[in-house]
Each structure stands twice: as structure tokens, then as C-alpha cells.
Structure 1
Amino acid sequence: MTGSDAAPMPDALRQWIAGRLPGTFVSVADKSWERDTSRVWLVETTVTTAYAKISPTVEAFWREVGAYRHAETALAPGQAPRLLAADLGLRAIISTQLPGRIVRHLDLPPAVEVGVHELAGRLLRGWHAHPAPAPAHARESFRASMTDQAAEAAACLNLLGDDLSAAARALVREVAHDLPALADSLPLVYLHGDYGTRNWLWDTEAERLAVIDFEAAAHGLAVQDMVWQCGALWTTRPDLREAFLNGFGRKPSPDENRALVLLTARLAASYLATGRTTHDQVLVDRGHRALSSLARTLH
């Protein structure tokens, strides 16, 4: 955010950071996403530069702290920022700044873009493969999430009605009816949780990809970290799907692939419902396109 929308850093956070970063403050820039729960600043001192963040909830704080520790051992140096300090009372986190730019904002040559997506698949394979024991409540929390997504699909189905083709309606109905049981039959892995191009950093000079923003990390299905790509990119860019899965090292199993289709159909129905409500034609078109492509996949 910039200008009048920029959020000032709270005094308590500034004081805490001053005691943990070397040097004195030079500048603080608001780098929050355009959503109410995002509070992120880039802090420059006379010695270093780092990111500071206030987590939206205590749960998100602990998820992110745990994910930083996971990334430090699961990924190669430079593939994720390092945790420098954390404070539960403030729900505050300080992390290193990495070189690179957000992939979603880049207009990359096709060959480079394909290479970036293959690297993204490889990075995710490393994240998933590294041991991360699931807490006792992980399966229960996961079941609740799948039940919620099925309920959302049912609500979208009622809202959209005749806006959906017969094939799309059948697909969204399958999400509402079949997703919880199908998902519960599959193993859990430790997810990044928001593994889309807005959280990928591409360092052109080093030709290195990194991942950021870990507050959604949790245990779930491996294919949940592919849902955004499947709905927003792969329907029109099968080359990016092939590159990503080449990097990931395997294709989803038949049950995983069906779960991916159903999870993505839920997201696409949400895009379409939100687009209709807010008169956002981009979301409407994205939802229709994804649902049409996914319906052909299953039927």
C-alpha cells in the first residue's frame, strides 16, 4: 500500500524491532496486501533491511513461526526467508529480506516462466517431503475444513442456479456431496497453505525461486498446494502444469487428482459467486473457464 492507504507502524512494534535489529531506523514502508488482515512493513536500518509482520491471529502466528522452522531445514538456503525474531504478545515476526520480485507481477518470457514453474514444483516437493509430524488435532481440523468447503459449494450452487451449465452444476454438486469422504481417505502432509504465484519470489540474476508468507501452513492434502494454479493457470496453460508436476516429481494419484478437481471446482464456484455479487467480470470469467475445464476432466 502507498499514500493515504499506508498503515503506520504501531509504536510498540517499532520499539520491539529497534531492540532486535542492528543500527537505527532509516525508513519503514507499508508492504501489506490489500486486505484488512494483512499488516507487513519493510524496515530499513543503517545496518540491515528486514520484514516485520503482525499476524492476524494467535493461531496464524504459531502457524507461521512453525513454518519458518520447517523451511529452514526443508529448503535450501535462499529458498525462504529466515525468522529473526518473534513475539507472541505482539503477534509480531521479523524475517530476512530476500532478493527477487513477486512472480505474479512479472511478465516473463514463456521459456523462463515454464522454468520458474518447474522450480516451484521442485521447491514444493522439498517442503512436503521433509518430516513434519502432524499434531493430534490435525485430522479433525482437516475434516472440519473439508466440511466447510463442501457447504460453501452447496451455497454457491443455490446462489448461482441457472448461471451454471448442466455439467458445471453436476461438478459443484459432487463437491458438496463427495469432497469430505474422498479427502478423508487420503494421507496428510505439511502444506505451505497459500502456494500461489503471489508468494513466489523470482531472483532473475541468481535464477533462484523462493517462497514467502507462511501463515496458512498446516497439515492437509498435497494437492491443496496446487489448487490456485489449477484454477487460475492450468486451465489455459497446460505447459505450466506439466512443468510444475515435473518439478514436483510425480503426478497426483487418481484419488488425489479427483480431490484436486473438486477442491478447485469449489474455488472456481466461489470466484463465480463473488464475481456475480461484486460485478467483477474477471472473477466471473475465471470461474466459468475453470468450471468448464474441470467438468470436462471428470465427465
Structure 2
Amino acid sequence: MTHAASLPLDLHQWVARHVTGMDTAAVTDASWPRGDSRVWRVRADHGEVFVKLYPSTEKYEREVKGCEHATRALAAGEAPRLLARTPQLPAVVLSALPGRVVRGLPLEQAEEQNVHRLAGSLLRRWHDTPEPISDLEHQRIMAAVTAQADEAAMILDRIGDQLSPAEQDLVRSAAHNLPRLAQSLPLAYRHGDYSPRNWLWDPEPTPGHHGLIDFEESAPGLAVEDLVWLCGAAWPTRPDLRDAFLTGYDRPLSSTEQHALVLLTARLGVSYLNTGLTKTDTVLMDRGRTVLEHMVRALH
């Protein structure tokens, strides 16, 4: 829920120089309850804008690069426009988009399927718009996948006795096979957090308008990584949404991509479980166990 909030003084002074007719009495906190970025909705002469303050220069730079990528990849109104930026704070001012955040919206089944189909179409255009990937960047991508594999191996050693034999085999496969599979997987500029909390939906224009926000995790990587959240949280219980999304994406996943997707999602699930056990967090424990159970079934 949003509530009235004032901008920090230095941020307020910078925004006032870049946003005409800024209404200081109409500033609301639009931050997620978790996460370390801070977001405000600000009313101005030409409508609403969003102001984001980042915890690191890296996240700021990713947001800026993501906005620039979106301008090339997506249609007008599908992503925020970058209205102002400053690396010194670091902060940006972004245009507002129509619609509401999809997560938690009460959608009828057919409408929800349409949202996921449009989300698939948008991601395909996002992925198909190339960004140069240097040799150093390619090495970083492969090192990141190896780090995920190493994490799976470490967790298996730590909590293997908490897993069923089939789950142990699955996590062991992730540890052993992900680096090899990654060598032959398509690379793309990833959104990095492609899930309904970053999708916007406006049902008014037929067949509806889908938008995308939040680019601070965007970076080159494995294209299939953008499907991990959906594979773990949405598709196991809603195969209709998987079908709708992949219809929109309009490219079948290769057998290698499907295998890697299951292993990447299993790695995430066992990471949830490990963190949940470490912190005695039952929500994370349940989430991790559910993901692992679903991924075991996905391989059979």
C-alpha cells in the first residue's frame, strides 16, 4: 500500500529541477515492502512520474541501460521513458505507464491467459533486440552459471538429508550439468526479474495493454533465465498460463533449454529451502519444497 512520504532533501532538490510543476503535497511512497530501492510517485504539471533512488551505482546503471534497451525493443507505452538521471545520488525520473501491477489482480481465466500471452510476446521482442556481448561479459555469464552450480553442490552437502532421493538427484544434476548446458544456450539481454510484479495491465484498449517496469536487474545472460520465476511459481499449477506465454513468445524451447530451465529453477528452489532452514522461515521452506517437488515431476 502506498502512503504519503517526502523525498530526501537532496533528491527533492534534484527532482524539482527536472520535473516541471512538481506538487510537493502529492508525493506517495510506491516502494515494494521488500527490496532496497526506494520509489516515489510524484504528481507534476504533465501528469505523474516515478522517482527511483538506488542502493548502488550498479543497479542505477542497469536501470538506465534497461530503459535504453526497452526504447529499442518495445513499442511506445510498453516501458517507462527515462526523463532524467543522475549517477551522483544515484536516481532517475521515469514516466508513468497505464495500467496496474498484475500481481494480485483479480483476473478471469481468459483475461489472465491473455496477459501471459502478451507477456510472452513482449519478452520475445525484448530478447530479440541484440546488445553487444564482449568476451569479458560472456565469461561473466558463464561464471555466474558456474556459481549457481557450485551453490547447488554446497547446499546438497549441507541439507541433502532434508531432500528425497529424487530431489537429491535433481540438485546433483544442476550442480554437475548447468555449466556444460550453458555453453550451448542462447544468450540475450535479460530483464532479470520477469514476473507479474513487474508487469502492468490495462484492460481498456482491446485486446488490452501490457507494460513492463523495473530494469535494475537487467543484464546480458541466458535467455531462459527470464523464465525461471514462471517455471517455479506459476506454470506447475497453471499449464494453461505456460501455453499462453509460450504462444506469445512464439518460439518453442529446445530440449536443452527445457532441461536447463528445470535445473535453474531447482537451484532456486533448493536455495529457498536452504535459506528457510537457516533462518527458520517457514514461508521460504515451503516455497523451496514446492518448487523442488514440481521440478522433479517436470523431469518425469
Bucket of the pairwise TM-score, normalised by the shorter protein: over 0.9
- Tell me by how many angstroms 1:263 deviates: 0.5
The equivalent of 1:139 in structure 2 is 138
Deviation at 1:2, TM superposition (A): 5.3
Provide, for residues 88-113 of structure 1, a one-character-per-residue CA deviation record: whole Å limited to 9, x for no partner. 11111110011211111212111111
Per-residue CA distance 1:57-103 (angstroms, 9 max, x = gap): 21221111111111112111111111101111111111001121111
Secondary structure class of the residue paired with 1:19:
helix
Aligned to 1:272: 273
How do 1:1-299 and structure 2 match up within 5 A? 8-25=6-23, 26-206=25-205, 207-299=208-300
TM-score, structure 2 as length reference: 0.93
- Taking every aligned residue pair, what percent have the same amino acid on both sides? 52
- 1:131 deviates by 2.2
Counterpart Cα distance in 2 of 1:72 and 1:277: 42
The offset of 1:145, in angstroms, is 1.2
What is the identity, as a one-letter code, of the residue corresponding to 1:129?
D
Q: Secondary structure at the match of 1:43?
A: strand
| Superposed CA RMSD | 1.8
| Displacement of 1:36 | 4.8
Which consecutive residues of structure 2, in runs of 5 or more, have no partner in the other structure?
Answer: none
Contact 2:5–2:27 under 8 Å retained in 1? no
AA aligned to 1:260 is: L
Inter-CA distance 135–284: structure 2 relative to 1 (3 Å threshold): same
Helix, strand or coil at the partner of 2:130: coil
Structure-2 separation of matches of 1:157 and 1:19: 53
Whole-Å Cα distance in 2 between the matches of residues 270 and 107 of structure 1? Answer: 30
Task: State whether residues 23 and 48 of structure 1, in contact with CA within 8 Å, keep that contact through their aligned partners in structure 2.
Answer: no
> Shift in Å at residue 282 of structure 1?
3.7
SS in 2 for 1:67: helix
Is the deviation greater in 50-59 or in 221-230?
Answer: 50-59
Give the unaligned 5+ runs of structure 1: none
Q: Shift of residue 187 of structure 1?
A: 2.9
Matched letter for residue 14 of structure 1: H
Length-normalised TM-score, structure 1: 0.93
- Bigger shift: 65-74 or 150-159? 150-159
Shift of 1:133: 1.6
Q: Structure 2: how far apart are the matches of 1:246 and 1:2?
A: 35
Q: 2: distance between equivalents of 1:56 and 1:7? A: 18
State whether residues 149 and 176 of structure 2, in contact with CA within 8 Å, keep that contact through their aligned partners in structure 1: yes
Task: Report the residue type matching 2:278 in the other structure.
Answer: T
